[in-house]
Amino acid sequence: MHVMHVMASLSPAGAGVYEAVLGATRAFVQGGAGRVTIVGATDRAESWPQVRRAWEEAGAEVITVPWWAIVSCGSFGAVRVQTKARSVDAVHGHGLWCGASVAAAALSRQLDCPLVISPHGMLERWARRHHGRRKWLAWTMAERAAVGRADLLQAMSEPETASCRAAGLLQPIVVYPVGIEIPAEVSKRGTEGEMRQANGLQTCLFLSRLHPVKGLSMLLEAWSIVRPVDWRLVIAGPDQHGYRAAMERLATHVGIADRVAFVGPVHGADKTKLLGEADLFVLPSHSENFGVAIAEALAAGIPVITTIGTPWSMLPAHAAGWWVPPDVTSLAAALREATSLPSPALREMGQCGRALARERCDWPAIAATSRDAYRWLLEGGTAPSAIRFAEQSA
């Protein structure tokens, strides 16, 4: 089986989409499910040889196109030339509002094969309202027709399935989350004294792209209310559209600039190190279809605070964290409770989180689900249990 994935950006600047597709590619190829070709644009600011190496190490054939070919859905003649000798069984587009879904639809027509679309949370209510007029125009002029052509949609949670149905999409939907690599063990400082000896403070970590949907302004305001003693807040992730500068100004305005560190994007060993140093993780998103960073924090043995805008309602039941309304008051209450806990209690919650991550985010099982969905799309027969039909969602 040969699957072609189409993305707006092949670089880590693609954040959650990049992590999801890279991981899925690795698991799909290593699991023997088939071959993968990746089509997308490169970011000028990235070191392209390193980016290409990451994809090739995951087992993908890489085809780059100019950024304008994705945005404007230009001619994909070069892609057809490079793939015509190696039949593509399915084209899988990732994300909306960036041209990827429209480009994927064009490629599926040109290569005469089925189309799968993953919205990656971009049909969630908050996401559609943010820059709503612009997105309404894009939906009306191009995105709706492209996504409507899909033979299969992929959602990362049942709430995202509901968002697809609310947008009027009636195709079958396969539901599976993003997988993550679960570390065999985690290295955590053992006692509260040891934690503080390393840097003088315990660490609460925010790790995600810096964008209004992630609720960072709420977090800074809540932190200014709680002002936990012997704690610092670390903000990590790529800046989008100058949002970091606005958040740095807010931290200064609410008087917590001396206890907040903005460290920029982190990847690979740097991200692993940052997770290893964290004692608490918080992602107060207004809307998430999954939340890869939450799963990574759980796998690293870190208790998590997140909001009901994410599909992680099971955190309290598994004693792995807090799931609260997306407002400053609720977030401050969770932060106050979490930062008041003794370190053994936080470590115990972290171990519960690791067990939850293993249960939900095992890559081999997820790769098998995607393989079965592609096979059903190509061959028919009895639908896999992960497929949802419109009448089931009504």
Note whether residue 70 is domain-resident: yes
Token pair belonging to 209? 């792209």
Note whether residue 185 is domain-resident: no
Host domain of residue 217: 192-360
Burial 238-273, CB ≥16 within 10 A → b, else e: bbeeebbeebeebbeebebeebbebeebbeeeebbe
Note whether residue 187 is domain-resident: no
Helix (H, G, I), strand (E, B), or coil: what is residue 118? strand
In this structure, are strands 60-64 and 90-94 parallel, antiparallel, or unpaired?
A: unpaired
Taking CB atoms within 8 Å and a gap of at least 24, the contacts of 76-81 are 76/39, 76/103, 76/106, 76/107, 76/110, 79/39, 79/107, 80/110, 80/111
Q: What pLDDT, in 10s, does the model give residues 250-269?
A: 999 999 999 999 999 998 88
Q: Do 227 and 146 have their domain in common? A: no
Using a 10 angstrom Cβ sphere, with 0-12 exposed, 13-18 middle and 19 or more buried, the burial of residue 47 is exposed
Q: Do 167 and 132 have their domain in common? A: yes
Token pair belonging to 330? 């609720």
CATH number of domain containing 302: 3.40.50.2000
Helix (H, G, I), strand (E, B), or coil: what is residue 103? helix
Using a 10 angstrom Cβ sphere, with 0-12 exposed, 13-18 middle and 19 or more buried, the burial of residue 51 is buried
The CA-to-CA distance between both ends of the chain, in Å, stands at: 33
Q: What is the pLDDT of residue 393?
A: 56
Note whether residue 161 is domain-resident: yes
CA distance 162 to 182: 29
CA distance 247 to 233: 13
Q: What is the pLDDT of residue 194?
A: 46
Helix (H, G, I), strand (E, B), or coil: what is residue 43? coil
Q: Do 17 and 156 have their domain in common? A: yes
One-letter identity of residue 114: P
Q: Do 128 and 51 have their domain in common? A: yes
If residue 262 lies in a helix (H) or strand (E), which one and from where to where?
A: strand 260-264
Q: What is the pLDDT of residue 158?
A: 92
321-324 β-sheet, strand order = 260-264, 231-236, 202-207, 280-283, 304-307, 321-324
Weakly modelled stretches of the chain, pLDDT under 50: 85, 190-198
Instruction: Give the distance from CA 173 to its chain's centroid.
Output: 18
Note whether residue 103 is domain-resident: yes
Closest to 383 measured CA to CA, from 285, 391, 374: 374
Q: Do 158 and 197 have their domain in common? A: no
Note whether residue 338 is domain-resident: yes
Q: What is the pLDDT of residue 82?
A: 61
Q: What is the DSSP string of 178-210?
A: --BPPPS------SHHHHHHHHSSEEEEEES-B
Token pair belonging to 214? 């992630």
Q: What pLDDT, in 10s, does the model give residues 178-203?
A: 888 887 777 655 444 444 444 579 99
CA distance 344 to 222: 24
Note whether residue 287 is domain-resident: yes
Q: What is the pLDDT of residue 310?
A: 94
Instruction: Give the distance from CA 127 to its chain's centroid.
Output: 14
CA distance 131 to 153: 24
Q: Do 106 and 252 have their domain in common? A: no
In DSSP terms, 180 is beta-bridged to 362
Q: Do 62 and 102 have their domain in common? A: yes
Task: Indicate the Cα dihedral angle 237, 243, 244, 247, nearest 10°.
Answer: -120
Q: What is the pLDDT of residue 197?
A: 41
Q: Do 258 and 350 have their domain in common? A: yes
Q: Do 259 and 209 have their domain in common? A: yes
Q: Do 131 and 226 have their domain in common? A: no
In 149-301, alpha helices (H): 158-166, 192-199, 216-226, 243-253, 268-277, 292-299
Q: Do 338 and 299 have their domain in common? A: yes
Note whether residue 184 is domain-resident: no
CA distance 78 to 373: 28
Q: What is the pLDDT of residue 193?
A: 43
For residues 4 and 92, the answer to whether their CB atoms sit within 8 Å is yes
Q: Structural domain tally of the chain?
A: 2
Q: Do 369 and 330 have their domain in common? A: no
CB atoms within 10 A of CB 142: 16
Closest to 233 measured CA to CA, from 253, 247, 219, 250: 219
